[in-house]
Amino acid sequence: MAYTQPAYHSPTGIDYNHPLLGGGFGGNHKVIGGYDFVGDNYTRTTPEVPDPDPLEQCFGHGTHVAGIIGANPGNEFNITGVAYEASLSSYRVFGCSEDGSDDAIVKALLRGVEDNQDILTLSLGEPGGWTTSTASIVASRIAATGKIVVVAAGNQRTSGPWYASSPADGLNVISVASVESNTVPFQTALVHGVQHNPIVYASFFPLHVNGSLPIFATSNDTSVINDACNPLPDHTPDLSSSVVVVRRGNCTLKDKLDNIAIKGGKVALVYDNGHGFEHVDFANYTAALIQAADGEFLVQTFAAGVPVNLTFPQTGGLVNFADPMGGLISSFSSYGPSFDLFLKPAVAAPGGDILSTVPLHLGGLDIQSGTSMAAPSVAGCAALLVQANRMMNNSLLSDARTLFETTGRPVLSNYTNGASLQTAASQGAGLINVYNAVHYKTIVTPGELLLNDTTHFQRNHTITIRNTGSSLQTYNVSHAPAGTVNTIHSTNSSAIAGPVPLNDRSASVELDQTSFTLPPGGMTTLLATFTPPTDVDRTTFPVYSGFIMIKSNTESLHVTYLGLAASIKDKQIIDNSDTYFGFPIPTIVDVAGNVTKGALNYTFADTSIPSLLFRLVFGTPKLHLDLVDVDIKLKPTLNPAGFADHLPIVSFEGVPTVGSIFNLNWTARSSDAPDNQNTGICIQMDKPIFENGTSIPNGSYRFLLRALRVTGNASNPMDVESWLGPPMLFNKSESLQPGNQSHLPV
């Protein structure tokens, strides 16, 4: 349709042959354009092979995103894209291996602008947390020109707070969190032998199981945490003709199903352990997730010796399952805020268990979850907003984001009585409502109030309310605090893993008016004066937030605020604990990752190379690893023992380094999630060279690792953390040729 062309930035392209997506490419089709910047076989170590055809048939992520925006209505599955009349373009930046780069993302963004797209949505990202990464800056600057840029907020909730994603952390982009769907189309299995309701299992398509099969439980203990995590006992019977019932636990689902398959198992039902009843991709296994209560019933019945069989109807078994977590923030949706204390995410939208299109050879439809599904929902809503002519004066982004933020609905943390509102660091301004954004006659600005930290506290904020309707309106104003989150462990400086508990230690707000009446066309300003919560432990870096509610008889709006009840410059950056690796870090390790003991002499032949292992427990604007003379006279802040008190503390200026080994600006923190492998950084010196490629002379040196604290001054030693390594002797062979250093996540 002519009113808008949302540029659908799928990382993996699109199967435009899908009939719900128009069945073709270019011309008058729904998918009118696009470009493949990388090719199917692209990885970070292989060259890009661009071409003008964005067709993708690898695994369907991009096709799923496209269907959420624009799937044609009138189909037997009742699927309708949010903005199904919109035209789509697809810019592919990932190969089939899902590898990508900032360079490809920036090219795609710029091509979208060149192609005159109104809305650009990106269902991709990586841990960032700064508004200053390359892709974030480009996305933000594009948004500042009047384009609407929508980006998925990330799926790393277990990593805890301060884990915003890039480029979603761009200053002007709309970063989108995920909420669970209220209902999900799932299949049912019929129970035979005992009286029990059909068992709902999390799959849109029925499992391909013929006939009636008996159940077999791998454990009779319904609280076991390692069910089938190890090879099944020798006395386990042949499972090829059974439905195996296994509990979700503390190992991967693949491990469980592999162990079941060794005993002949072909069909499995995994019952939930509280992680969340959701659609799970079991790859090539015939398996699905079921609810905890159903799994426990089957196990207890099996343990009692009662014969039970299951059948899996191939037609007529689809039901609309009412998700008890529907409308709440999804169990995977990442926490913010950004390290520079911007509201990230900005809003939330449905992203949990979404039915949409996938490539035809993968079945045509599937259920997927992620903020990748929430972002296109917001992009579709933005297209409807453009269509409704609510945008004027080249301010698409600011108007769209503010309208979505102020006309949506704050999300609860749970459905128990007295539950607090979810922190804005998780939900942003809440669940968007495009009907309200289009039809509300009250306009409230701004959409968010950034209170900053205690050192840079912004106490007073002005809110403007305009009545653009044709009738007199009376408004009532109130304060609705959200739950406060203690984001950092006070004992080891690491972020608290998600989901993070909430507490009721909220800010107080003084409003200069709590009720007023506006005539048609009338406007007023409201002064809100904030006081941060005082009964908090500042060493836990509490993030507080809430909402200023503005309600008339017919409309309910709000403005979201967020602040930090501590000084962010007090937050430690470099981890010097033994929490994650069982030994103190930073430390020098060998190529196998073992702590090096004894003399540190390196020839740079074979495995005789030094590696520095460290972690970042918070983001830093400036991270340097340098080589310094072994006899340098300075005192590090993180390992001062053994260095004289009179020695100067290190800053980023005036330190006589031999040369730079590694440096990064605007760096994300390491993950604190137990199931995430990105828990540290290992700088491996494969060759005796500096970062600029010049050779390091033989001699005695130390590593000097430095990090600048957030809002710190690089020339102030009190704002710089430093670690000085033990003496090392470099005695390289003259035959060694220059190479590159390796930067390895661990």
For residues 100 and 113, give the distance between their C-alpha atoms in angstroms, rounded to a whole number: 20
For 146-242, strand residue ranges (E) read 148-152, 165-166, 174-180, 183-192, 199-201, 213-217
On the question of pLDDT at 19 being above 70, the answer is yes
Residue 744: predicted pLDDT: 52
Tell me the pLDDT tens digit for each residue of 153-186.
Answer: 999 999 999 999 999 999 999 999 999 999 999 9
For residues 172 and 612, give the distance between their C-alpha atoms in angstroms, rounded to a whole number: 37
For residues 188 and 316, give the distance between their C-alpha atoms in angstroms, rounded to a whole number: 9
In the 8-state DSSP scheme, what is residue 555?
-
| Secondary-structure breakdown of the chain: helix, strand, coil percentages, each rounded to the nearest 5 | 15, 30, 55
Residue 39: predicted pLDDT: 87
Lowest mean pLDDT among 188-202, 216-230, 277-291, 730-744: 730-744
Tell me the pLDDT tens digit for each residue of 690-710.
Answer: 999 999 999 999 999 999 999
On the question of pLDDT at 388 being above 90, the answer is no
Q: How confident is the model at residue 1 (pLDDT cuts 50, 70, 90)?
A: very low
Q: How confident is the model at residue 200 (pLDDT cuts 50, 70, 90)?
A: very high
Lowest mean pLDDT among 324-328, 360-364, 737-741: 737-741
Q: Is the dihedral of CA 401, 406, 407, 409 positive or negative?
A: positive
Residue 285: predicted pLDDT: 94
Residue 736: predicted pLDDT: 53
Residue 100: predicted pLDDT: 76
Q: Which two tokens stand for residue 347?
A: 């809003």
Q: How confident is the model at residue 124 (pLDDT cuts 50, 70, 90)?
A: very high
For residues 693 and 741, give the distance between their C-alpha atoms in angstroms, rounded to a whole number: 9
On the question of pLDDT at 2 being above 50, the answer is no
Residue 159: predicted pLDDT: 93
On the question of pLDDT at 353 being above 50, the answer is yes
Q: How confident is the model at residue 133 (pLDDT cuts 50, 70, 90)?
A: confident
On the question of pLDDT at 390 being above 80, the answer is no
On the question of pLDDT at 4 being above 50, the answer is no
How does DSSP assign 279-313, residue by residue?
----TTSEEEEE-HHHHHHHHHHHHTT---EEE--
Of 560, 128, 558, 180, the closest CA to residue 374 belongs to 180
How does DSSP assign 548-603, residue by residue?
EEEE-SS-EEEEEEEEESS-GGGS--B--SSTTTSS-SSEEE-TTSPBP-S--EE-
Q: How confident is the model at residue 217 (pLDDT cuts 50, 70, 90)?
A: very high
On the question of pLDDT at 678 being above 70, the answer is no
On the question of pLDDT at 589 being above 80, the answer is yes
Q: Contact, 612 vs 738, CB < 8 A?
A: no
In the 8-state DSSP scheme, what is residue 384?
H
Q: How confident is the model at residue 72 (pLDDT cuts 50, 70, 90)?
A: very high
Of 323, 318, 366, 287, the closest CA to residue 178 belongs to 323
Span 407-429, average pLDDT: 97
Q: What angle do CA 269, 274, 277 make, to 5 degrees?
A: 55
Average pLDDT score, the chain: 92
Rg (CA), the chain: 28
Q: How confident is the model at residue 273 (pLDDT cuts 50, 70, 90)?
A: confident
On the question of pLDDT at 689 being above 50, the answer is yes
On the question of pLDDT at 392 being above 80, the answer is no
On the question of pLDDT at 687 being above 50, the answer is yes
Lowest mean pLDDT among 417-426, 544-553, 641-650, 716-725: 641-650
Q: Which two tokens stand for residue 506?
A: 């909220």
Q: How confident is the model at residue 675 (pLDDT cuts 50, 70, 90)?
A: low
SS (H, E, C) 310-364: EECCCCCCCEEEECCCCCCECCCCCCCCCCCCCCCCCEEEEEECEEEECCHHHCC
Strand order in the sheet with 681-684: 587-589, 611-614, 681-684, 742-745
Span 680-699, average pLDDT: 93
Q: How confident is the model at residue 676 (pLDDT cuts 50, 70, 90)?
A: low
Q: Which two tokens stand for residue 352?
A: 């949990």
CA atoms within 13 A on the CB side of 526: 29
Q: How confident is the model at residue 713 (pLDDT cuts 50, 70, 90)?
A: very high
For residues 497 and 745, give the distance between their C-alpha atoms in angstroms, rounded to a whole number: 19
Tokens 């930046």, residue?
Answer: 93
Residues 6+ apart with CB under 8 A from 662: 624, 625, 683, 691, 741, 743
For residues 135 and 145, give the distance between their C-alpha atoms in angstroms, rounded to a whole number: 16
Query: What is the signed CA dihedral for 579, 230, 353, 128, rounded to 10 degrees?
Result: 30
Which residue would you say has higher pLDDT here, 275 or 85? Answer: 85
Tell me the pLDDT tens digit for each residue of 573-588.
Answer: 999 998 888 899 999 9
In the 8-state DSSP scheme, what is residue 492?
T
For 2-125, strand residue ranges (E) read 6-9, 31-36, 88-92, 119-122
Tell me the pLDDT tens digit for each residue of 467-495.
Answer: 999 999 999 999 999 999 999 998 889 99
Tokens 């005082």, residue?
Answer: 534
On the question of pLDDT at 735 being above 70, the answer is no
Residue 97: predicted pLDDT: 78
Q: What do you get for the CA distance between the two ends of the chain, in Å?
A: 48
φ and ψ of 385, to 5 deg: -65, -40
Residues 6+ apart with CB under 8 A from 514: 476, 477, 478
Of 409, 388, 366, the closest CA to residue 279 belongs to 366
- Count of Cβ atoms closer than 10 Å to residue 195 Cβ: 5
Tell me the pLDDT tens digit for each residue of 500-526.
Answer: 999 999 999 999 999 999 999 999 999
Percent of the chain with pLDDT over 70: 95
Q: Which two tokens stand for residue 19?
A: 């009939």
φ and ψ of 213, to 5 deg: -120, 140
Span 45-57, average pLDDT: 89
Span 423-450, average pLDDT: 97
Span 577-603, average pLDDT: 91
Instruction: Give whichever of 6-20, 94-108, 258-272 has the largest mean pLDDT.
Output: 258-272
Residues 6+ apart with CB under 8 A from 168: 122, 125, 128, 136, 151, 152, 153, 154, 175, 176, 344, 345
Count of residues in the chain: 746
